[in-house]
Each structure stands twice: as structure tokens, then as C-alpha cells.
């Protein structure tokens, strides 16, 4: 069955169902260039409004997998991975991959660039001098085999159709489509040859899904499609009504990871999400008999410094500096303008418009408004106050790292507007709301 790309778009635009062959044909065209960027954008918008059935989601995912190479592994342990639906201050991947590797798992993590207001793991890695974030497949295989984990960007060989559609979604207001998110995430994971996947699906003011019901729908879609496609998968619903870490940016989040792994600083919210997701991976990979044993193993891997050692070895193996964890300030670019952002009044943080915090980082240059935009790795926000924190003349809302005074002032205005400060006590909601498994 063959139709012109515009006819496939028209059928979906009008609410019709697409056979697997039509989806395959459209994705092949996207890969070869027969389908234009405009047509891909129109297809994404049609899917955004009309949606895809489960069968169509599986077909789209598998078509994008087939657009490139599918990795095969011969390793002495399970091949596992984690993926987050995106948030602010979410640098869990950098700590989780080496922690799971320290427990016997193999983590070939293929990460993306930032989408919308959320930071991308690939952009964070690119802030490390010398780190080759997009190596060839042979290097990716070798580092994963020798170190236990390798965190890289999507290569031209793995799900190339997704790479093209991913960039288009970022600038066409179609990022939030559950169907497109599902296919995008899972195509990369299936192409990586995984044996187990854990999804961190965020909900709240800084997530793409701002309420728990929508986040649950995304998690259920991911778990259902992944398992139907042969990849054992579970998901956790986690809170993003405030930044997960107190740092948001690229180099600043790498520095935060260095402090976390070495034990210089371990914030409870970030630590708990890292441990819970890592533990889920160990259970999926049969490296622990239950979640309690898995948590203990991960806690020990982090506390003993073994996770830090593996992270540092991975950085070196991919071209980065050998003393990054011990001396991040020596290697990570620092912004020329660094100053505190104080609230207009003293009080207790009641609520945070976390998406707006992420947008402020993008406006500083830490994210993109167009696919071709460069990233300023040095800019960002640190010491972000959480819900329930007291802010006053001594405790700022955040510290801004900016390229210019004007950019710093604009970020300060945005951050102040994003924070609601009042008199009464306040506390966060549940950090981990729910687990969704294959039979949930």
C-alpha cells in the first residue's frame, strides 16, 4: 500500500486510521528525505490533534526502529536503561547509569538534547571538555562493555527518523503528544537492544504533563507499547512541581552531579528519585530479588564511591578529563556574571511555576528555540529554593549564571515571577506517586 505523504497526512488529519504499511512508508520517506520537513511537521500536528491507536503507536515505534541499526549485545549482565519524560533540574541519568553499572547492569544510554523548557542530557555532556557525546557505534559498544555504562547522544545509525522528527517537534508545539513521545522514546530504546527499561514520567508544573492523570496516561502508553514490542518496561510517576535538583542548566548540572557522586552534597529529593529508578532497573534485570534488596545495593554503590569511580572512567573513556569529579571547576566553563536572585519579600516558598524556571534557563542561552541554535553551556541557575524553603535577605530564590548583566536581570525577573512566596507553612506533595508495571 502506497500513498503520497500529503494523503497520509490528510487521512490522519481527518481522523482516519493508518495501516502499519502507510506509517512505515512515511517514516522511510522521512529518513530518505522524500518527506519534507513541512510534511513531517504537518504529520506531527495531525497526530497531536487526532491521536494514534495502540496499534498505530506500535507501528510508528517499530518503523522508526527499522529506520536504522538495531544493536545486539553479548554481555555478562542485563542490558538496562532509564528514560525521563523531561523536567527541570533532572540530571538523574548522570548518577543512575554508573550506579546501576556498579551493581552488575550494563547501561548503554542514548540520550537526547533539550526539548522545550526541559534540559537534555546530551547538552549537559557536551559541557564536559573533550567528551565525545556522539561516538561511533564501535566506541559505544566498547565503552559499555569495558566500563558498564556509556551515556551518549543519538547517532546517525540508531533510529535516524526519530532524530529528524525529534528536532521538528521541539519547534512546532507538538512535544506534548503522548503518541509521539511514546514512539520517540521507545524507538531509541528498542534500537539500543535493551532487555529492560524504566520510565520516569513526570507530572506537575515543570513537566510536559502538568497533572497526574495525563502523566499516568503517558506512562501506561509507554509501558503498554514497549511490552507489546518485546521490551520489559515499568514506570514511576514522579513529582515535578519544583526542580528536582537545585541546579538547572548544563555545566551547572554536571557540577551538581560531581558533588552528588563524591558525597560533597546529596539532596534528598534528587537522591530518592535516583535510588528508586535505579532499584527498579535492578529488579527488571534480575540483579536483585525485590525492590528492598535493590535499594540497598544502589545505596551502597553510591555511598562506597563505586558509582563515582565508574562515572569518572566513562568520562575518560569518551575523551573527558580524568579529574572531572574532584575538580569540576577546573574544567567546566563558568559564566562571567553570577549573582543572587532575591525574592521581593521574605517568606516561605508556597508554589513554583517550574516550567517558567526552565524557560528562564532557555532564555539565558541554556536551551534552544530553534533546532540549529547553539547552547551556552555555562549559563543556568543554582541554589534553587524548593517548596517550603524560607527565603530572605540571606537565602535567595536562586543564583543566576549569565553571559551578560542584561541576561541576568531578565532571568531574575522571570524567576521572581515563577515563585509564590507567602507566610504560611508549605510542603511538597508525594515525590513518587505511583508505579506502573506491565500488568498494572
* Catalytic residue list: 81-84, 121, 169, 184, 188-189
Grid cell at residue 55: 496499534
C-beta atoms surrounding 93 within 10 Å: 23
Buried b (16+ CB within 10 A) or exposed e, 402-430: beeeebbebbbebbeebbebeeeebeeee
- Do residues 90 and 84 lie in contact, with contact meaning Cβ atoms separated by under 8 Å? yes
Of 247, 246, 249, 271, whose CA–CA distance to 261 is shortest?
A: 271
- Supply the DSSP symbol for 269: H
Cα gap 403→324, rounded to integer Å = 23
The dihedrals phi and psi of 332, each to the nearest 5 degrees, come to: -85, 135
Write the CB contacts of 194 (distance below 8 Å, at least 6 apart in sequence).
79, 80, 81, 108, 231
Q: Please list the helix, strand and coil fractions of the chain in percent, rounded to the nearest 5, in that order.
A: 45, 15, 40
Closest residue by Cα to residue 109 from 130, 83, 84, 90: 83
Amino acid at each position: 500500500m502506497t500513498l503520497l505523504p500529503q494523503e497520509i497526512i490528510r487521512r490522519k488529519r481527518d481522523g482516519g486510521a493508518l495501516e502499519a504499511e502507510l506509517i512505515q512508508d512515511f517514516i522511510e520517506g522521512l529518513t530518505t528525505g522524500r518527506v519534507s520537513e513541512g510534511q513531517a511537521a504537518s504529520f506531527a500536528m495531525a497526530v497531536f490533534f487526532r491521536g494514534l491507536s495502540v496499534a498505530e503507536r506500535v507501528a510508528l515505534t517499530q518503523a522508526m526502529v527499522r529506520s536504522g541499526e538495531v544493536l545486539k549485545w553479548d554481555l555478562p549482565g542485563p542490558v538496562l536503561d532509564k528514560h525521563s519524560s523531561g523536567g527541570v533540574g533532572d540530571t538523574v541519568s548522570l548518577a543512575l547509569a554508573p550506579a546501576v553499572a556498579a551493581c552488575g547492569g550494563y547501561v548503554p544510554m542514548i540520550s537526547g538534547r533539550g526539548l522545550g523548557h526541559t534540559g537534555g542530557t546530551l547538552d549537559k555532556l557536551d559541557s564536559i571538555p573533550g567528551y565525545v557525546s556522539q561516538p561511533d557505534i564501535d566506541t559505544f559498544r566498547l565503552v559499555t562493555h569495558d566500563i558498564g555504562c556509556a551515556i551518549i547522544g543519538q547517532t546517525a545509525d540508531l533510529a535516524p527518523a526519530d532524530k529528524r522528527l525529534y528536532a521538528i517537534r521541539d519547534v512546532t508545539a507538538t512535544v506534548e503528544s503522548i503518541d509521539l513521545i511514546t514512539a520517540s522514546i521507545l524507538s531509541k530504546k528498542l534500537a539500543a537492544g535493551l532487555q529492560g527499561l524504566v520510565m520516569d514520567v513526570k507530572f506537575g508544573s515543570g513537566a510536559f504533563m502538568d497533572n497526574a492523570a495525563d502523566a499516568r496516561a503517558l506512562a501506561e502508553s509507554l509501558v503498554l507499547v514497549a511490552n507489546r514490542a518485546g521490551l520489559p518496561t515499568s514506570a514511576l510517576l514522579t513529582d515535578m512541581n519544583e526542580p528536582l535538583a537545585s541546579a538547572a542548566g548544563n555545566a551547572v548540572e554536571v557540577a551538581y552531579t560531581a558533588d552528588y557522586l563524591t558525597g560533597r552534597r546529596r539532596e534528598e529529593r534528587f537522591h530518592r528519585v535516583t535510588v528508586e529508578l535505579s532499584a527498579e532497573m535492578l529488579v527488571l534485570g534480575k540483579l536483585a530479588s525485590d525492590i528492598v534488596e535493590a535499594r540497598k545495593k544502589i545505596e551502597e554503590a553510591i555511598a562506597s564511591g563505586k558509582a563515582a569511580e565508574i562515572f569518572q572512567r566513562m568520562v575518560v573513556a569518551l575523551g573527558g578529563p580524568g579529574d572531572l569529579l574532584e575538580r569540576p571547576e577546573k574544567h567546566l566553563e563558568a559564566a562571567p556574571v553570577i549573582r543572587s536572585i532575591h525574592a521581593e519579600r521574605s517568606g516561605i516558598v508556597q508554589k513554583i511555576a517550574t516550567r517558567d524556571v526552565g524557560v528562564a534557563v532557555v532564555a539565558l542561552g541554556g536551551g534552544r528555540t530553534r533546532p540549529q541554535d547553539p547552547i551556552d553551556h555555562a549559563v543556568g541557575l543554582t541554589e534553587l529554593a524548593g517548596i517550603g524553603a524560607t527565603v530572605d535577605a540571606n537565602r535567595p530564590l536562586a543564583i543566576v549564571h549569565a553571559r551578560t548583566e542584561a541576561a541576568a536581570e531578565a532571568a531574575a525577573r522571570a524567576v521572581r515571577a515563577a515563585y509564590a512566596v507567602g507566610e504560611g507553612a508549605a510542603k511538597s506533595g508525594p515525590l513518587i506517586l505511583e508505579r506502573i508495571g506491565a500488568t498494572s
